Structure 1
C-alpha cells in the first residue's frame, strides 16, 4: 500500500511540474486513455494467472 501512495504522490507532483514547465503530459489526458492502461495491466495479470507468461 505504501508503494501505491508513493506512486500516486509522485505522479501528482510530476503532473504539476509538467504543467508548470508548459510541457505535454506524458500520459493519456482522458479517463478513456487511463482506463486503456488499466485494461492492459488487468489483461497482463490474467494472462500470467493462466500461465501464458512461461
Structure 2
C-alpha cells in the first residue's frame, strides 16, 4: 500500500509541475486512456497467474 500512496503523491507532484510549466500532460488526458493502461497491467498480471498452467 505504501508504494501506491507514494506513486499517487509523485503523480500529483509531476502533474502539478507539468501544468505549472505549461507542458503537455505525460499521461493519457482522458479516462479511456487511463483505463487502457489499467487494462494492460491487469492483462499482464492475469498472464502471470495462468502461465504456470501452460508450462507444466
Scaled by the length of structure 1, the TM-score of the pair is: 0.91
1:21 aligned partner: 21
Which runs of structure 1 show a deviation greater than 3 angstroms over 4 or more consecutive aligned residues? none
Residue-pair matches, total: 53
RMSD of aligned alpha carbons: 1.4
> Which 5+ residue runs of structure 2 have no aligned equivalent?
none
CA distance in structure 2 between the partners assigned to 1:40 and 1:2 by the alignment? 22
Deviations 1:12-52 (A, max 9, x none): 01000000001001100111000000000000000111117
**Greater helix percent: which structure?**
2
**Bigger Cα Rg:** 2
Scaled by the length of structure 2, the TM-score of the pair is: 0.88
**3-state DSSP class of the match of 2:24?**
coil
